[in-house]
Structure 1
Amino acid sequence: MEPPRPRDEALIAQLRRGTLQFCVLALLGNEPRYAFDVVRSLGEVDGMVTSEGTIYPLLSRMRREGMVASTWQESPSGPPRRYYELTDHGRASLHRFATEWRTFRDAVDQLIPGGAA
C-alpha cells in the first residue's frame, strides 16, 4: 500500500480560487450567515480552508454586484454582526454555476484516467 501523498497546495488554491464565490453562495442558500460563520463552515470541508481576509472582500464584492444582501443583527456575544443572504440574482448565479459545474466535472472525469467511477 502506498503512503498518502502530500497535497499539492498550489493546485488546491487554484481550484478553490475559481469556485470559492459559488461555494459561499451555496452556504448562503441555506440560511443567512455572517462572515466568520462562512469561514468556519468552509474550514470544515477538506480543501476549502480560507481566511476572513479572503471572505470579507469577496462578500463585499458580491454585495456590490447584487448577488447577496446584508443586514445588521445584534449578537448575544459582542458587537452587531452583518448577516449575508442570497438575492434572486445570487440564487440564479448559483443555479447557473451548479448546472455548468456538473457538465464540466463530468467532462474532466471522462478525460482523467480512473476519474469516472
Structure 2
Amino acid sequence: MLCTVPAMEETSAPRAQWLRGVLDMCLLSLMAEGPVYGYEMTVRLAKAGLDVADGSIYPALARLRKRELVEIERRSGGGGPARTYYRPSEAGLRLLRSWSRDWGEFAMSIDTIVGPPGREKS
C-alpha cells in the first residue's frame, strides 16, 4: 500500500506561523520606540507588511503583561473611550535585547541555507 502525503498549499500559511513565533518580539520592539496602544500596533505591523488581526494582538499583549514584560498607562481618548498604552518594562527591554540578538543569529543561519530571494546557490 502506497502512502502519500498531501502537497502543502502554496499560501501565506508559513508566513502566519512565522509571525506567531515572533509576534511578542515585534510588539515589544514597537513599544520600545515609545508608548503605543493596541490598534496602533496593528496598523504599524500592517504597514510593515505583517497583517495581524486584533484578535491576535490583544491576547499577546495580555500574555506580555502577565509575564510583567510590559507596563500600561490609561489615557483619555480625546472624546472617545480611554486608550491603554503599552511600553516595555525593564524586564521586557532586557528580553527584547536578548531576542533581537537571537533573531539576528537565527536569521543569518537560515539565510546561509535558503539565501535571499533571487540569489543563485553555488
TM-score, scaled to structure 2 = 0.84
- The CA deviation at 1:64 is 0.8
* Cα distance in 1, alignment partners of residues 41 and 105 from structure 2: 26
Larger Rg: 2
Counterpart selection for 1:44 from 41, 44, 47: 47
Aligned to 2:6: none
> Could you tell me which amino acid in structure 1 is paired with residue 116 of structure 2?
G
Aligned to 2:7: none
RMSD of the alignment, in Å?
A: 1.6
> For residues 49-88 of structure 1, what are the alpha-carbon distances to aligned partners after superposition, in whole Å with 9 as ceiling and x for unaligned?
1111111111011011011011110111411011111100
What is the count of residue pairs matched by the alignment? 109
> Could you tell me which amino acid in structure 1 is paired with residue 46 of structure 2?
G
* Cα distance in 1, alignment partners of residues 79 and 93 from structure 2: 30
Q: Structure 2 regions of 5+ residues with no counterpart?
A: 1-9
> Could you tell me which amino acid in structure 2 is paired with residue 98 of structure 1?
S
Aligned to 1:28: 31
* Cα distance in 2, alignment partners of residues 74 and 115 from structure 1: 45
* Cα distance in 2, alignment partners of residues 108 and 54 from structure 1: 26
1:3-18 alignment to 2 at 5 Å? 8-18=11-21
Counterpart selection for 2:93 from 91, 94, 98: 91
- Contact 1:108–1:115 (Cα < 8 Å) also in 2: no
Identity %: 28
TM-score, scaled to structure 1 = 0.87
The DSSP-based 3-state class of the residue aligned with 2:99 is: helix
- The CA deviation at 1:115 is 3.4
Deviating beyond 4 angstroms after TM superposition, the runs of 4 or more aligned structure 1 residues are none
Q: Structure 1 regions of 5+ residues with no counterpart?
A: 1-6
